[in-house]
Amino acid sequence: MEIKELRSFFVNPSTETLNVEFSLEIDSDDEIRMSEISLDDAKDFGYDFSTKEVDSMEEFDDEDYDYSNEEIDVIDESDIISFLNEYYVVNPNKLPKTELY
C-alpha cells in the first residue's frame, strides 16, 4: 500500500488539519481517496505541517513590509507522501475508501 499520486493537499489552520486527496498504487485512474488528518497526528510522526500566521493584521502594513527578508515556508509534496505512507501503515483502519474521481 503506497501512495501513487498526491492530487492535492491543504493545511487548514483553523481546524488544525491536513486535508489530502490521493490515490494508491492499487487504485484505478478514476479512483481517489480523501482524508482529513489532525496536525497533531502528523507531529506524532515527526512532521510539522503547521503554517505561520501574522499575529495581528492591524500591525501589518503591506506597503512597508520587507519581503526580501521573508523565509517562505513551503511544504514539500514528498514530505506529505512520506507521512501518508507511514501514517496508513501504522493506521490501516483509517485509510479512506475510494471514491470515483
> What whole-number distance in Å separates Cα of residue 38 and Cα of residue 58?
30
Total domain count for the chain?
A: 1
Its pTM stands at 0.78
10-residue mean pLDDT profile of the chain (101 residues): values are: 94 95 96 97 94 48 59 82 97 96 79
> What whole-number distance in Å separates Cα of residue 85 and Cα of residue 87?
6
Residues 38 and 15: beta-carbon distance below 8 Å = no
Q: Which domain holds residue 77?
A: 3-100
Q: Is 46 left (phi over 0), alpha (psi -120 to 50) or beta?
A: left
Helix (H, G, I), strand (E, B) or coil at 6: strand
Pick the closest to residue 35 from 15, 55, 59, 18 (CA basis).
18
